[in-house]
């Protein structure tokens, strides 16, 4: 099971709401960045438990949970005083309530008596995270964002750009003074090919080069291509 999670707002501080303003875009940007981080932590957590044998110890289970738990706590800390748009108020309250049970449950990973309570713990974890993901998706909807699953596409966008960057670097070493193009990177001339296949992330994102051999990204694909920066891929919904 792939566990996908996002953020929560601690009740002790309480979320802050404001009317719609120019800061709403910044809130959306921060949320996407943190959802990508939490998505990655959740994926590693899921893989760790998937590979854990029945003979594994509670200490091993606790060690696998810690990075994921840390990501959740960090995210909660970062967002506890954020000024949320009024339209997200109901979703924030629901996510805040769901987060408490999840965090408490994750902290109890090291207290399992394996293997007898292993499956019970995993089942409850899946239930809590599924419920939490639903609540986070409600917040995303209220903020005009896609579901948290879009984090995988943001990751793919950045990864594809990294592959092209490596290819460009290799091309420039072999062909100083020549601007790389897609055809040159893929072709058999000029010491190529430097890349096996061009990344295809449509309709979520498209990677291309300008006349100077600089990487442009359109995210989503029907948007205007701009010079690549990690923040550009955040729109790869």
CB 138 within 8 A of CB 91: yes
The pLDDT tens digits of the residues spanning 64-85 come to 888 888 887 776 766 666 667 7
User: Given pLDDT bands bounded at 50, 70 and 90, which one contains residue 53?
Assistant: low
Percent of the chain scoring above 90 in pLDDT: 19
User: Given pLDDT bands bounded at 50, 70 and 90, which one contains residue 17?
Assistant: very low
User: Measuring CA to CA, which residue among 144, 10, 153, 177 is closest to residue 77?
Assistant: 10
User: Given pLDDT bands bounded at 50, 70 and 90, which one contains residue 38?
Assistant: confident
Residue 114's pLDDT is 58
CB 7 within 8 A of CB 80: no
pTM for this entry: 0.62
Strand partners, 84: 17
Q: Is 40 exposed, middle or buried (0-12, 13-18, 19+ CB in 10 A)?
A: middle
User: Measuring CA to CA, which residue among 68, 79, 77 is closest to residue 102?
Assistant: 68
Residue 4's pLDDT is 41
Q: Is 107 exposed, middle or buried (0-12, 13-18, 19+ CB in 10 A)?
A: middle
Strand partners, 218: 206
Radius of gyration for the alpha carbons in the chain, expressed in angstroms and rounded: 21
CB 148 within 8 A of CB 228: no
Buried b / exposed e along 195-210 (16+ C-beta atoms within 10 A): beebbebeebbbbebe
For the cut 60, the answer to whether the pLDDT of residue 16 exceeds it is no
């Amino acid at each position: 099971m792939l566990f996908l999670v996002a953020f929560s707002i601690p009740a002790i501080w309480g979320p802050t709401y404001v009317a719609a303003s120019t800061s709403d875009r910044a809130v959306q940007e921060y949320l996407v960045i943190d959802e990508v981080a939490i998505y990655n932590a959740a994926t590693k957590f899921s893989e760790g438990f998937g590979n854990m044998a029945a003979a594994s110890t509670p200490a091993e289970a606790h060690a696998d949970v810690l990075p994921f738990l840390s990501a959740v706590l960090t995210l909660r800390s970062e967002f506890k005083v954020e000024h949320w748009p009024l339209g997200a108020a109901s979703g924030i309250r629901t996510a805040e309530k769901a987060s408490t049970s999840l965090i408490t449950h994750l902290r109890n990973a090291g207290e399992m008596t394996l293997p007898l309570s292993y499956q019970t713990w995993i089942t409850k974890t899946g239930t809590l995270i599924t419920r939490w993901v639903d609540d986070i998706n409600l917040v995303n909807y209220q903020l005009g964002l896609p579901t948290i699953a879009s984090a995988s596409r943001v990751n793919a966008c950045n990864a594809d750009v990294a592959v092209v960057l490596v290819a460009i670097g290799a091309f420039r070493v072999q062909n100083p003074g020549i601007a790389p193009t897609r055809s040159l990177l893929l072709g058999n001339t000029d010491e190529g090919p430097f890349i096996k296949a061009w990344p295809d992330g449509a309709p979520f994102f498209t990677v291309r080069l300008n006349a100077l051999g600089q990487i442009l990204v359109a995210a989503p694909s029907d948007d205007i291509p701009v010079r690549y920066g990690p923040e550009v891929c955040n729109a790869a919904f």
